[in-house]
Amino acid sequence: MSTNSLTKTLGVEIKTEITKDDLIAVQVSKIEETLISNRSSIEKDIKEFPKLGRQCKLCISLKSNKYYYDNKEVVLKKQEIRYQKNKEILLKKDKERRQNNKKLFLERSKRYYQKNKEAIKKKTKKYYQENREVASVKKRKYYKENRYLLIAYREKNKENISKKYKEYYENNKLAIFTKCKKYNKKRKESDPLFKLRSRVSGSIRNFLKKSFFSKNGKSILNFLPYTMEELKNHLESLFSHPDNLTVDDQVWMNWNNWGPFKREKWNDNDPNTWIWQIDHIIPHSTFLYTSMEDEEFKKCWALENLRPLRADLNQNDGVTRVRHKL
């Protein structure tokens, strides 16, 4: 082989004779620049290889992926065991990594969400439906632990949040109304306190509306001289009042048979068809109040002026004295 050809091949200038040391030096120089992967047999830049080993990073990745998909169940099981065994340490490390790379993780999350928006929504909805109670507990816990941060965020982004809520409401009015109605109906069936608050609030709102006034979005809990729990206990204590018992002195009133009077379903001889209502002893209509701050309002809704009464008696009494039925 000529000197010129060797110079081109080995990449060093050969002046006279080639020694053994010269050849070794050239081989090392070439290895430092490129390597041939023993998996793909393709010559690649040295930077594409890990510090140790003759397989390039791409080949290692492909091999790992193939192994994962060929042994998915086994791999996932091992990962789960490892995770449970080192849960606290792994969570701590993950938290630190996210804290140190907030911007990177945020951008990555945004890209992933935009790419898989519909699938994420579907998966989230399914999980919530199957784990409603667990999700609710987690949500309350998160709010309790991060309450002030959430409040601060809302204050800081008040206008933007308000704008988004308005836009969403305008675009989903019917769906929101239907969902709220369904939710309220279901909760009233299982939660007497919620039902009580809804009915009392509605009664006050309707009374003010007839006089061309309103509650102005204020909660009745801030103006009534008692809690809903106290009102509930007061009414329950009167379920066993002699005037409210059956002919054979049985208590029949409960929160399942409180509601509107329906003559066609009523049978005087069958307590199972009876309904009771909250009655104002001094009729609601005799009080004149224009806001929940009036003294007349407090007198009207005082515990002493409220009692449970058989719906038919409340209706019949209303013929001579106009009452508001609850």
Alpha helices in 15-116, H assignment, sequence order: 20-33, 57-70, 72-85, 87-100, 102-115
Residue 35 predicted with pLDDT over 80: no
Provide the pLDDT for residue 45: 72
* Range name among 1-15, 29-43, 174-188 with the lowest pLDDT average: 1-15
Could you tell me the pLDDT band of residue 38, with boundaries at 50, 70 and 90? low
Alpha helices in the chain, H assignment, sequence order: 3-10, 20-33, 57-70, 72-85, 87-100, 102-115, 117-130, 132-145, 147-156, 158-171, 173-190, 192-210, 228-237, 295-300, 311-320
DSSP result, 128-147: HHHSHHHHHHHHHHHHHHSH
Nearest to 275 by CA among 303, 254, 251, 249: 254
Provide the pLDDT for residue 320: 45
Interval 263-293: pLDDT, tens? 888 898 898 999 999 999 999 989 989 999 9
Give Dmax (Cα) for the chain.
Answer: 130
Instruction: Let me know the angle formed at the C-alpha of 226 by 214 and 208, rounded to the nearest 5 degrees.
Output: 15
Mean pLDDT (the chain, rounded): 82
Rounded distance between C-alpha atoms, residue 243 and residue 85, angstroms: 65
Provide the pLDDT for residue 132: 86
Provide the pLDDT for residue 249: 84
Interval 173-219: pLDDT, tens? 999 999 999 988 888 888 999 999 999 999 999 999 888 888 888 89
Provide the pLDDT for residue 53: 66
Residue 165 predicted with pLDDT over 50: yes
Could you tell me the pLDDT band of residue 29, with boundaries at 50, 70 and 90? very low
Interval 70-81: pLDDT, tens? 898 999 999 999
23-37, 43-57, 129-143, range with greatest mean pLDDT: 129-143
Tokens of 48: 């594409």
Identify the DSSP state of 44: E
Residue 13 predicted with pLDDT over 70: no
Tokens of 260: 């509107």
Interval 50-105: pLDDT, tens? 766 667 777 788 888 888 888 989 999 999 999 999 989 999 998 899 889 988 98
Rounded distance between C-alpha atoms, residue 41 and residue 57, angstroms: 13
In sequence order, the 6+-apart residues with CB closer than 8 A to the CB of 221 are 197, 227, 228
Query: Looking at per-residue confidence, does 244 or 324 come out higher?
Result: 244
Rounded distance between C-alpha atoms, residue 255 and residue 193, angstroms: 10
Rounded distance between C-alpha atoms, residue 309 and residue 317, angstroms: 11
Q: How many other CB atoms are there within 10 angstroms of residue 200's CB atom?
A: 19
Interval 223-262: pLDDT, tens? 998 999 999 999 999 998 888 888 788 899 999 999 888 8
